Structure 1
Amino acid sequence: MRYSLSLIAPALALTLILPTATSLGFGPYEQHPYEQQHWFETRQVKSQDPAPVKPASSLVIDTFRNPLHNDLGFWHGTGENLTLQHEPGSMRLFPTDPDQNFHTQFDVHDCFSLLPWKDQFLHVVFEGNEEFTVSLNEHNAQCNPAQSPFPGVPDSVQASRYIMRTRSWDPDHDDDDWDESLKHGKQKLPLKHRFRNDTRGGGRQRPARSKRSELFIPLSHFRLDHKRVVSVSFTGFYTREPITLYRVEIVPDVPSPAAWNGYFNIPEKLPTGQLILRCSRPNSFAFGIDDGQPQYAQEVMRILDEEDVRVTFFAVATGLRDRSTNFTRFYGEMLKKGHQVALHSNTHPKMEALPTLHEINDEIVQSIRTLEDELGVRCRVTILFLQGQTLTISSTARYFRPPFGTVGVRLRQQLAQYIDNPYIVNWSVDVEDWLWGDTNTPERQLDAFYRDVARGGNLAVMHYLNPITAGYLRHFIRHVKSLGLNIMRVDQCLEDPNSPPL
C-alpha cells in the first residue's frame, strides 16, 4: 500500500538530476514518473554503429571524468531525487532513502553482452558508505527502452560482503607483508595503490594511506541474462553516510589472499528472492491489488465478481489482525472465490530502510504467521524437527510485494531465509493511484494505466484507497479484455506449477 502525498515513484523510474551550478553540484527537484526519465535520451554515444564486442582483459565502464556520461559514452546519473556532486574523477552521492539509485549504462538503445567477460569480476573503487546494494540490470526482452519494463529485472549483491580490506602503510614502520606481496607481481596490487603511486616509471613505492575501498564481485554472482544488460547500479542505501565512486570496471583477476588485503576471498553467493516485474505466460495479464480502505472492499469484490476475473491481493498483516477492518473475513471470502492472497509485510515500512536484519526478519515472520493464523495460507518453508529431520511444506504464499516497491538485497536475502524460492512481485503497470487518487485530476490514473499497458506492461499495481480508484477497476479490466489478454492471478501468470488451473 502507498499512502498518498508523501510517497515517491517506483524505484525503477529513474531520473537524471541536471547540473544546477557551475560547481557541478546536483540536487533534487520535483520528479514525474515518466516524463523526466533521461534514460530515454542518448548521452553522447560514441558511435551509432559500434564495432562488435571482442573479448578483452578488462572493460573500463566509468572513471567519472564527465558529469553526464561514462567512459563507454553512455549516460550515468541518479534517480529518486538523489543529490550528487561531481568532480573530475569522482562522483559523490548523498543518499537519504533506499529507493535512491545511481546508474552507469552499458547501452540504452540496444542490449549489451557481457559474455566476453562472463568469468571476470566487477571491480568498484569507492569511499565512504558501505551499506548498499550493487545491481546488474537486465534490459527488457525487446532491448527497447520504449517498452515496459525498462530497465528490466536486476540481480543484486550486498556490497559489504565483497569489500577487500587492505592495510594502510605507516611510514614510521616497516611492512614486511608489503615487501612479501611484491613477490607476487605488481599486477596483484589493489588499484587504490596504483592510483596513488604510479609505478610506470619503474620505481617501487609503498602504498599511501587511503580510505578508499574496493569491491570484487564475480559476474557469475549476478543471475540474469548476461547477453542483455543495460547498467550497473548502486542503490538500497539504508544509512545516510555519503559515498564517493571513483572507478567501475570489469577485471580478469582478484588479488591473491595475503596479509596486506586481509586474506581476502570471494564470498559465496547467498540465495535471494526472484524479483518479478511482468508475467511470463503468453497473452496474460495480472492485477496485484494492495491493501486499501475497508469501506471500498465490497465494491472491489462486486466488480471482480461481475467481470468474472481473478486477481492477487497483497495483504498487510496488521490490517488482518485488526478486527475493526473486517479484512480477515473479506480476504477469506476472496480465497473461496479463487483469488490469491499473498504477503505484503507486517506493518508496511520501507523494509530496506530498516537499520537491522532483525527488524526486516520480524516484518517477514509476522506477515507469514498472520496469513497462516488468520487465513490458513501457509508459506513454502522448511521446518526443522527435533529428530533432525526436515519437511518442506508447499503452498501458494511464496509471493511477497515489498511496501512502496522498495527492493534491496537485504530484503531479497532475508526472504530467501524464510521462504523457499520467494517471488518478490513489483510491477510493469502502475495506475499511479498513490499520485492522482486524491487530486483534482483522478482521471490521470486511467492515462497512466493505458500508457503502461501500451508499452507492453502486463503486471499491475493498484490500491482501493478511495472510491474513484475502486470504480476505475472496471475500466482497467475492460481495457485489458479489449486487447484480447487473459486476466488471471499472479501465480498463474508466472506459470507456477503449484497454481490452480486456469
Structure 2
Amino acid sequence: MTVTYKSKKMTLKTNDSDLQWATTFAETCKDMRPYLDAYLHIAYSGSNKFSIALQQHNVKCDNDAQPWPETWDSLEAARYGNESDIYIPMNHFNINHTRAIGFALKGFYSTTPTVFSTIEIVSQVPKGWTVASKLPSGNFVFACKRPNSFAFAIDDGDPQFAQQVMQTVKEENITVTFFTVGAPLQDPSTNLSSVYQEMAAHGHQIAMHSYTHPPLEGLEDEASIDWEYNNMIRAVSDTFNGMHTPYFRPPFGTEGARMRQRLAAVIDNPYIVQWSVDVEDWMWAESKTPEKQLDAFKRDVSKGGSLVVMHYLYPSTVGYLKQFIQIAKATGKQLMRVDQCMMDPNAPPLP
C-alpha cells in the first residue's frame, strides 16, 4: 500500500485487498457508546471501492493478548456515500462499542487511488441525505466463545498427508474442523471427497473455504463473489448428502464488507472464522527452520489464543501436529470442533 500526505490530504493506493490503513482512539479500549447516535463522515475523492471497519479490543483490553483485535465490522463505502462524502451511522458497526480500538480503511478492490480529506464523527447528516440500511454481515470470530475451550481449524491440504493427520488426531482422541475448498473436492484425481467423507465419519466438522481459493474481497464484482459461494455450497452439499454449514473461512483471511454481505445473503447467520493461533506454516514449513512453526504456536497459545489456522500441505507441519495438540492440552483447555467451541446449539454434544 502506498500512503502519501499532501496539503492536509491522505492518498491510499494498493493492489492488495488484504492491506489496510488503521487508526486508534486510545492506548487501550475506548468507550464509543456516547457516539452511537452519531455518524462517521468521510470526505474523499477517487475510488469508493473499499471497506470501512470499526475494530473491537479483546476483553482484557490488552494489546499483548490474543486475539487483538478481537473482531470488527466492515461496511461498504460505496453503499453509504456519493462521489464525495460517506456517512455511516456509528450504530451500524456491529461490535461492542465499550471496547472500540479505531477505524480501518481496508478491503480495497480497485487500484484507483482514494484521496481522503476528512475523517470525523458528526452529530447529523446533511439535509436530504438518505442513509443506507445496515446489511447482515455474519459472525466474525477469532477465538472460541466457550470458556476453557480450544479448536484446531485446519485448512486445505495435500491428500497424501490426510491419513497421517487422521491417525494423529485419533491417537490424541480429539475432533477438529476441516475447511475445504470446493473445486478440489469435486476433482476425482485429488480423492479429497473420500478423504473428507472419512473425516466426517470420524466425527470431525467439515466447513467451507471458497470454491477456487481467491481473495474474495479483491474480486471485481459481487457476481464473482456470488459465483464462489454458490459453487462452494453446491460442492459441499453434493459431497456430503445435502449437508449445509454456516462455517466459512476466507481464503488468506482476506475480509471486507462485500464478501461478508454476500455470504450472509446466501447463508443465514454465517460464522466467518479467522484465528488467534497461527503456526505460520506458510512462512516456515519449507524453510531451513521449520521448527519455528512450534515457536509460533507456543507464542500465540501463551497469549491466550484458542483458534488455530494451519494446513496439512507440508510434511513438517503434519509432523508437528502431535506436538501442537499436546501443547494445547497442556493449557488445561478442552479441545473440540469449531462449532462446539462457538457454543453452537446445532453442534454435537461434548463427550
TM superposition score category, shorter chain reference: over 0.9
Aligned to 2:321: 473
| Helix, strand or coil at the partner of 1:227 | helix
Determine if the alignment matches structure 1 residue 90 to structure 2 residue 9. Answer: yes
Q: Where does structure 1 differ by over 4 angstroms across 4 or more consecutive aligned residues?
A: none
1:278 has 2:143 as partner: yes
Structure 2 regions of 5+ residues with no counterpart?
none
- The equivalences for 1:207-246 within 5 A come to 213-246=84-117
State how 1:98-177 maps to structure 2 within 5 Å: 98-108=17-27, 110-165=28-83
Note the 1:350-369 alignment, pairs <5 A. Answer: 350-369=215-234
CA distance in 2, matches of 1:422, 1:242: 32
Identity among equivalent positions (%) equals 47
- Alpha-carbon distance between aligned partners in 1 of 2:109 and 2:289, rounded to the nearest angstrom: 34
The question of 1:463 aligning with 2:311 is answered: yes
Secondary structure of residue in 2 paired with 1:98: coil
2:155–2:310: 8 Å Cα contact kept in structure 1?
yes
Q: Shift of residue 411 of structure 1?
A: 0.5
Name the CA distance, whole Å, in 2 between partners of 1:140 and 1:483. Answer: 20
Q: Note the alpha carbon deviations across 1:349-384, whole angstroms, 9 max, x for none.
A: 1111110111100100111011110122522xxxxx
Residue deviations 1:181-236, cap 9 Å, x none?
Answer: xxxxxxxxxxxxxxxxxxxxxxxxxxxxxxxx111100110011111100101000
Q: 3-state DSSP class of the match of 1:342?
A: strand
1:345 aligns with 2:345: no
Segment drifting more, 228-237 vs 368-377:
368-377
The aligned residue for residue 321 of structure 1 is 186
CA separation in 2, counterparts of 1:376 and 1:354?
30
Which position in structure 2 is the counterpart of 1:332? 197
Secondary structure of the corresponding residue to residue 121 of structure 2? strand
Distance (whole Å) between structure 2 residues aligned to residue 322 and residue 250 of structure 1:
51
User: 1 CA distance for matches of 2:120 and 2:349?
Assistant: 47
SS in 1 for 2:97: coil
Match of 1:62 in 2: none
- For normalisation by structure 1, the TM-score amounts to 0.69
Q: Distance in 2 between matches of 1:307 and 1:377?
A: 30
Cα separation, 1, equivalents of 2:246 and 2:151: 16
Instruction: Confirm or deny: 8 A CA contact 2:19 2:106 kept in the other structure.
Output: yes
Q: Which has the larger radius of gyration?
A: 1
1: CA distance, partners of 2:77 / 2:139: 18
Cα distance in 2, alignment partners of residues 351 and 313 from structure 1: 19
- Partner SS for 1:463: strand
Residue 436 of structure 1 corresponds to 284
1:164 Cα deviation after fit: 3.9
Match of 1:18? none
Secondary structure of 1:216's match? strand
**Count of aligned positions:** 350
Inter-CA distance 356–164: structure 2 relative to 1 (3 Å threshold): closer
Partners in 2 of 1:318 and 1:164 — Cα distance? Answer: 38
Counterpart in 1 of 2:338? 490
Asked if the contact 2:70/2:141 (under 8 Å) is kept, the reply is: no
Residue 87 of structure 1, CA deviation: 2.3
Is the Cα contact below 8 Å between 2:55 and 2:103 reproduced in 1? yes
Higher deviation after alignment, 365-374 or 88-97: 88-97
What residue identity is the alignment partner of 2:162?
A: A
In the alignment, which residue of structure 1 is the partner of 2:124? 253
Amino acid of the structure 2 residue aligned with 1:126: Y
Shift of 1:152: 2.1
Q: What letter is aligned with 2:105?
A: F
**Residues 164 and 216 in structure 1, CA contact (< 8 A), matched pair in contact too:** no
Q: Which amino acid aligns with 2:71?
A: V
Is the Cα contact below 8 Å between 1:280 and 1:495 reproduced in 2?
A: yes
1:286·1:311 contact (CA, 8 Å) conserved in 2?
Answer: yes
Could you list the per-position Cα deviations for residues 66-95 of structure 1 after superposition, in whole angstroms to 9, with x for gaps in the alignment?
xxxxxxxxxxxxxxxx22112251111111
CA distance in 2, matches of 1:483, 1:236: 35
CA distance in 2, matches of 1:158, 1:341: 30
Tell me, in whole angstroms, the C-alpha distance in 2 between the residues paired with 1:473 and 1:226: 38
Q: Work out the CA distance in 2 between the residues paired with 1:133 and 1:377.
A: 34
| Distance of 2:141 and 2:322 partners within structure 1 | 25
Matches of 1:354 and 1:224, distance apart in 2 = 26
SS in 1 for 2:37: coil
Paired residue secondary structure (1:441): coil
CA contact (8 A) 2:183 2:211 kept: yes
**TM-score where L is the length of structure 2:** 0.98
Asked if 1:411 corresponds to 2:259, the answer is yes
User: Where does structure 1 lack aligned partners over 5 or more consecutive residues?
Assistant: 1-81, 166-212, 258-263, 380-396
Aligned to 1:38: none
Structure 2 distance, partners of 1:137, 1:246, is 22
* 8 Å CA contact retained: 1:289, 1:461: yes
CA distance in 2, matches of 1:332, 1:378: 12
Q: Secondary structure at the match of 1:105?
A: coil
Amino acid at match of 2:189: S
- 2:169 aligned residue (275, 285, 304): 304
2: CA distance, partners of 1:402 / 1:354 = 13
Give the match's secondary structure for 1:291. Answer: strand
- SS of 1:378's partner is coil
Letter in 1 for 2:108: F
